[in-house]
Structures are given as structure tokens and as C-alpha cells.
Structure 1
Amino acid sequence: MEDKRELFEPQALRDFIYGVFMYFDVPEEDALLATDVLAYSDEHGIDSHGIARLKTYFGLLQAGRINPRPRLQLIREKHAVVTVDGDNGLGLVIGPKCMEIAIEKAREYGTGSVAVSHTNHFGAAGYYPLMAVKHDFIGMSMTNTSKGVAAFNGKEKMLGTNPVAMAFPTLKEPVVLMDFASSTVAYGKVEIAKRAGKKVPIGWCLDENGQATEDPERMINGGALLPLGSSRDGSGHKGYCLAGMVDILSAVLSGANWGPFAIPFAINTASSDKQVGKGIGHFFSVWDVDGFREVQEFKEEMDEWVRTLRAAVPLQGAQEVLIPGDPEWRAYEVRMKSGIPLQMEVVMDLKAISQTTGIPMP
């Protein structure tokens, strides 16, 4: 099946997203914030976490399962460390506000960490550490997500894709950004393959019987994703450990639901009868480079780090060695000029939202 896509002007998509959040009485400042987080994904080539997710946010807000006007509560604080209750708000709003708290703590103490419970899906993890980089800080973000990934040597969904992201400031070279799921692949990429009628590589997924599968439908309907590294031969235990670290820092530490009890993001998915906390959780950390060495020296050396790795000899058949963040920056440069390509199924979702809300299609 051909993966047909339609191009949309970036600002027009932002206007549509903003209109949808305003339709649900999200405060204007929060609606702009949520729009920026969601649009970041599409504008930087992360199609799995952008406007394709708007249908789910729309459904959750429509069903009253997300609080459009949350009030953050600092429930515990000790010097540079804070725990926040997100009041069941949009993760797209709670996330940036909590990252700002971590930044302020780093400004005061040299470092800041915020654990968050009672929140929801916060978009692409890479958005948040970039907030810290603007201040010449190093930033990190992570979140647990609803179960979709098998435990190592297991076939049952027990953990989420549990992404982690870090960003490092540079002087003249592009910011170094690492943003990746702790599963072999993000769930959204399986959804993209399903919408396009394509197979997925062996090593991404298990079917309902615990067997490797190329069929995204088999994974979605009763199967599971595999942890980063996939099998024993691929050191899948390392991805499993990484997912566990994210789950513990984001959820066990904050008082959110952890492991298989994490609240599902999908509107049509029933939650576990057992709850061990509130909502899902995020974790943010920030470090002030100036506390370690002169900022100018660090950024100059980061530039040298980038240039050294970029000059590495590529494998036969590969054009170049990429630096973490290169795909995002290149996608941004292209998409802001040429438009953002949306799969036709996503376009149909937007049309349905437009008809319900009266907000004109972009």
C-alpha cells in the first residue's frame, strides 16, 4: 500500500492545534504551550508524537479524562529536588512548567531535579532538555508510558516505551540532542507502518503468541514491543534495564503508576483495575555547566567533539556519520520551507475534529 501524504503549512497546523485546545477551555497561555510542544515533533520530523496524537488528546479532553485547567502542587521539596502533582493536566503543559522548575533550581543550586506524578503523555521527550540548553545548561527528561513492551525474556506487556532525552549546549555547532525510546522502536512507528500498510522489521515486535512478527496489527492486537536490543543476542537486557530506570525515576519516585499499571494514553483502552499511584510520571534534571567548568571552554570542546565524530570514516554504503540531533535539525530546515507531510489517516482525523469543533481545517 502506498504511503500517501499531504503537505501542510507549519503555522497553519499550529493554529489548528491551538484552536482545539482553546475549544476545551484550556487557558490561552497553556494552549500556546501545548501547541508548541506538539508542533515541535512534526516540525522536527518526529511524526509519531506530533499532530497525529491530537485525536487522542481531543478524545481524552472530550471525555473529561484530562483536566484542562490544572493547578500544579509542590508536594515535597528539599533544596534542588522537588516532587510535583500535575493535577491530571495535559502533559504538554505540565512538562514544560516542571522543566522550568528544574531550570530555576539549577540556577540556584547548580542542579535541579523534578519528579512528577498525576500527569499525562508529554509529547516528544527531546523538547524539554532543549529548554535547558537555552540557558547554557545540560538538560534531561524522561517519562514512563502505558505498557506496551515485554520484559526481557517475557512475552507479556509490562513496561512502556519509556523514552529518555538529553541535550548539551555547543558554541557554533548544532546542539547535541539524544532522544530515544528504551524499546527497540517507539510505538508510534508501528502505528505509522500500520497506517501505511507496511511490514515492520523482525526484532521490533512480538505477536500475541510471543513470536517475532513483521505484522504491526499482530503487535497492536495482543502482542508487544521488544526492549532496546531486542533479543539476548542483541543485548536486549540493556534496553530492559534502561526502561526500568526510567520507570522508577518517573513513576516509583514521584508516586505515579509504574510498570503495567501506568495509565493508558489511548482513549479506547481500559485502565488496569489496580492503581499504585496517580496518573503517569515524568522526571526532569538540569545541570549548570558553569558549576563544572568554564561555559565557553565546554561549548568550544563540544564543538570539537561534534567535528571529530562527524569526521569519522563512514561504513561502506553510508554517506556520513551523523551526530545525535542531526535528523531533527535537518528535518526542521526542510519542513519549515516545504511543509509538513501528514499521512492521509491523520488528515481524516483532523477533518473529523474540524467538523465537530467548527475549527477550519488547516
Structure 2
Amino acid sequence: MTKRLPRHLRKIGHVFVDETMQDSPMANRVREKLSGTTQADIPWTVVPSEQDRVEFDEGDTQALYLKEYKGKFLRFCPGTRAYHCCGYRIIHIGENCPMACSYCILQAYFQDRVLKIWANQNDLFTELGNSFGADRKTRYRVGTGEFTDSLALEHLTGYSHNLIEFLEQYDNVVLELKSKVVDLTWMDATSRTDRILPAWSLNAPFINEHEEFDVSSLKERLEAARTCAEAGFKVCLHFDPVIHYPGWKEGYGAIIDMIFDYVKPENIAYMSIGSFRCMPQLNPIIADNFPDTTYIYNEFVPGLDGKARLLRPLRVEQFTFMVDRLRKHGMDKQLYFCMESTEVWNEVFGYAPMDFGGLGKRLMAQAFGE
């Protein structure tokens, strides 16, 4: 019987592959995964090695591009000194996302329908080995969910599975897998439940229903978090972006209460909260791609990083409501703000990162279970 790919991958209608990568393990794996599915016969196009990008515009269809990447795989988070950054490091495995969330900043970076995956994994592992192995006393908290979703293409690529197998030899590295879909096949690759942090983004049910498309439901994400917790993993949860809309208190209150029907506070390594913010060029893109979206017309001001932010009193009101609700469930030190000022930290939490030695230091300790 012909299989169907997961819902969020069914728009893939073309595969491009660098000529240097057409016989790579990654390309062979994708071919194998597509065979026997309703998308088994989609065209493959070999791209000359000197060509840097592909042009693709076939309506609502997406393309997968298995590319030889020649840049740096290990990067610093692109934060700003104007606000407190969590300080994690990015393992760059690809670009763009098959899902469609109205608020996604990737729309401003990648204005095409090409899902890029770096197929030269041996180069990735060489670079990571040189970095992580140079000094085993230096600890790293890393993640792959910055320029793409960590698990969205896992069904086809097995990228996280391979990466986890590679990282088994490095006690000084904790890997966070941040996603809006459920794919737990990576669990077979590790014996170290203390070095992998499965993570899911959450939002209010209204936002999940009206602003997130082709994603797993909130219930499915929390069920996956429970499965991981029961297997011995600490999980991470992220409320980013928190959106101001009519009925937000009821919505965010409901999802916060729902979390603890599935996991306990001690199962959670940390949880971020961040208000919707965007570069000036993102708003017209959102308006064009999602004409029914209205939250972009809220009261925003330019932030110190050049991004538009919800007025501080409105942000603080939302943050205070959510933090108070989470504290009633037993959460406290696991909570942090993504890219907020010292003043907002003090106003909501009653302390700021410098009071406990810095946000990066705290999260590193929590990631390593200290």
C-alpha cells in the first residue's frame, strides 16, 4: 500500500541536489524515504557545484534542496547586547521550514519555497569534532532550531538521528531539538537521556488554530513531551512569540494549565517566554501571506535592536500574568525571558540575570542537570 508522508511534508514536489551530493548518504536516505510514498515520482534535478541557489516557483509546491554547505556550521545565537540573550550556540543544519506560521521570522530571511538541508554531514561532524573535542572541559549548549525547525524534515533526512549518534562521544555537549511537530525517531540514537533536550514551542489555542498551519496540535506536542519525560529526558518548552489578542488571558491561562496535565515542573529543564517582535520588513510580508492576521496592527514601538515590540506596559502585563500562573504550578528558576531588558526582568521576576551570574550561565547549568 502506498504511504503518505506526514502532513507537513506533503507539499514537497521537487528535489534538487548538488552534483557533489547526489550519491551522499543524505541523498540516498531521502530517495529511500520517498520511495513507496505518494511522492515517490517527484522530479530530481542535479545542480552544478558552482551554482549557489535554485529558482523554484510552482504554486503551492515546495522543493527540497540537498546542498553542499561551505560555511560555518557552529555559530553564536544572533542576539543583541541591548537585551539579555540566552547564549546558546547554533548548529546550522539547513534553512527554511515546511510549516506556515504567520509570525515566523524566517519569512523575512527566506522568501522562497525551497527547504535547504546541508547534505555534507561529514564536513559538519569534522567541524563539530574540532570544536567540541579541543577542550573537553568547555561546555556547550547547542540547538538546531534557529534557521529551520529541528525535526520538521527528520522523517526524510534523519539529520537529528545522525547528529545525536555523533554527539554520544561528547560529554560536554547538550543538544536541544526545538520543533512544532512530533517525530521521536531520534530517541533510538541515544543512550544519554542527560544530553538531549527535546523541546516544543507552545502558544495559546487560538493562536495555534488561526496562526500556525501544518503543525502538530498542542495536545500532540505535550503528549510527545510526556513520552520523553517518561523515558528520562528533561524537556524544554517555549512561549515565543506571546501574542496580544482579544481573549489572550483565557488562552494563555488554558495552555499553561494544560502543560501540567502532561508533565511535572521537575520534568522541565527550562521554559522561555518572549513577546512577538519583528523587523520592519516582516509586517508587510505577514500582511501579504496571512491577510486575516490582525495582531500586527497592535501598539508597537521600535526596540533597541531595531525590531518592533509591543508597548512595554502591555508586554509586562502579559508576562506577569503568565509568570504568576506558571509559579502557581511550581515553576520558577526554569523560567526566562527571550531578549528582554533588565528593567522588564526586574518588574516581572523581581530580579535580573546579573543577580544570578548571567542567563547563559544559569541555562547551561540547568541544561546539564545541575
- TM-score over 0.5 (shorter chain): no
Bigger fraction of residues in helix: 1
Normalising by structure 1, report the TM-score.
0.31
